[in-house]
Structure 1
């Protein structure tokens, strides 16, 4: 069940608040909003950008943005009729970025906005940290998202891996609501008979729930993430479901990977589990 949702906000958020509230409305969930507080004496994410911002004396501006965003979230939640909570940004014991993944473990689902359209996540990005370290499924919302949450057509990536199985299992409440579910294999190298059998079995499982579900291999032998993104766009998918960080997070950060490509180039929300 996805009944207790955490939305983690940052300075660039434009799409996360309206999306998570529409998501919660559809699944009858409650939402807690968190803006991690970056203490100037302990820049927990260690990023060069955060250090430069601190040196420029931007703390008051950042604090004002945080408070305004949390107030806006509360007002929008009331207007939408969604049960919601905002965590006190000025609490001296407020959650810092380094603590956000551990805090998120107490929720069913985490929602966070894409770092920046066109830019892959880095080791210091909160979305990557939440996915790799929280142990909870994460929905990453593209910055260009303007539509409300919908689950009519969902594309789920399948390669037989533990991460893919976990993602499909975690997303099962959404997949069961869909009208069309495509279980797709986007890499010819892993299209062994066990992978095919598993994909077909998963499709049959959702078909028994009254969902129009199918398994097939995406044509082409290119990068699996780009094949998946192109197919989702061509099929007007409302969401992509995929396993995250099949390799170590450090290796993906240094060498690239499906997770980084999806999070950097996505145009629809991506539901990921690790």
Structure 2
């Protein structure tokens, strides 16, 4: 397996579930686990100063007192977060020490606008980022973290929804294929686990035979590529029957008892505001099993 460094990002207020999931995956493949604890965002303060506008005494006095109260609340919040973060760090150290795992644990300060950049910088030096259910369901931390790790790094992300049994040695894998560069990158990044799987099913939804995309025989090219690497591959051409591609792929994964879906993540700058564009949005609505994404 080519994954030697695995990144896990977790909130200071989250449970240990995401870290346990990532640690279990690292133990499977002998990888180093790098954990980043993200503190809650700080309170935003008003930047208005005494003398701004036309306020005079006693209005200005009241505004000054309000700003001081804001500052006291911010200091108190900062202190509480520091204590919470240190406790979280100790708990994670204790958890990982008991698993005899190579790991490091770090914390980072951030403002909400820079969280995506913090995640991006960490993901650049990892082979794979694990997004567990705690982070996935955090409306404040989840979207910017996933955006930073996935869209701006060229590195893969493994999304593990709540209740899913994650493994980096899946027996059956479904590959969502549409001849786009994102799908090709996902296949290349997942090549190690695809070649180790007992069965790989390449699924195309409503494919059209053409020489500019899928070729004369849709799925044949990518199946041949995977076969040359030693993967055991079959191709499934699926009709949408009026359903979305996401729905078709998700149902086919269930019908074929897949352990994981591998696919490309699409999204323009505009679509990033909604986290994912296209078929990958379904993971936040009705997740069913681990999803290996690359872009």
Q: Deviations over 1:7-52 (max 9, x none)?
A: 1112445542222222212222111001134552679xxxxxxxxx
Gaps of at least 5 residues in structure 2 are: 46-72
**Counterpart pick for 1:169 among 173, 177, 188:** 188
Report the 3-state secondary structure (helix = DSSP H, G, I; strand = E; otherwise coil) of the residue aligned with 2:219.
Answer: helix
**Counterpart pick for 1:22 among 21, 24, 34:** 24
Larger radius of gyration: 2
Judge conservation of contact 1:19–1:149 (CA < 8 Å) in 2. no
Report the 3-state secondary structure (helix = DSSP H, G, I; strand = E; otherwise coil) of the residue aligned with 2:214.
Answer: helix
Report the 3-state secondary structure (helix = DSSP H, G, I; strand = E; otherwise coil) of the residue aligned with 1:80.
Answer: coil
1:75 partnered with 2:77: no
**Counterpart pick for 1:201 among 221, 233, 248:** 221
Which residue of 2 is the match for residue 97 of structure 1?
115
Judge conservation of contact 1:171–1:241 (CA < 8 Å) in 2. yes
Judge conservation of contact 1:110–1:137 (CA < 8 Å) in 2. yes
Q: Deviations over 1:50-105 (max 9, x none)?
A: xxxx98x7666655554444434333333333211111x3x679996232112211
Give the distance between the partners of 1:166 and 1:40, measured in 2 at CA: 37
Give the distance between the partners of 1:125 and 1:183, measured in 2 at CA: 30
Gaps of at least 5 residues in structure 1 are: 44-53
Q: How far 1:184 moved relative to its partner?
A: 1.0
Judge conservation of contact 1:243–1:273 (CA < 8 Å) in 2. yes
Report the 3-state secondary structure (helix = DSSP H, G, I; strand = E; otherwise coil) of the residue aligned with 1:265.
Answer: coil
1:2–1:214 CA distance, 2 compared to 1 (3 A)? same
Q: TM-score, normalised by structure 1?
A: 0.78
How many residue pairs are counted as aligned between the two chains? 258
Give the distance between the partners of 1:16 and 1:190, measured in 2 at CA: 40
Once the two structures are overlaid, the 10-residue window that deviates more, 142-151 or 156-165, is 142-151
Which residue of 2 is the match for residue 51 of structure 1?
none
Q: How far 1:131 moved relative to its partner?
A: 1.4
Q: TM-score, normalised by structure 2?
A: 0.73
1:234 partnered with 2:255: yes
Give the distance between the partners of 1:211 and 1:86, measured in 2 at CA: 36
Which residue of 1 is the match for residue 200 of structure 2?
181
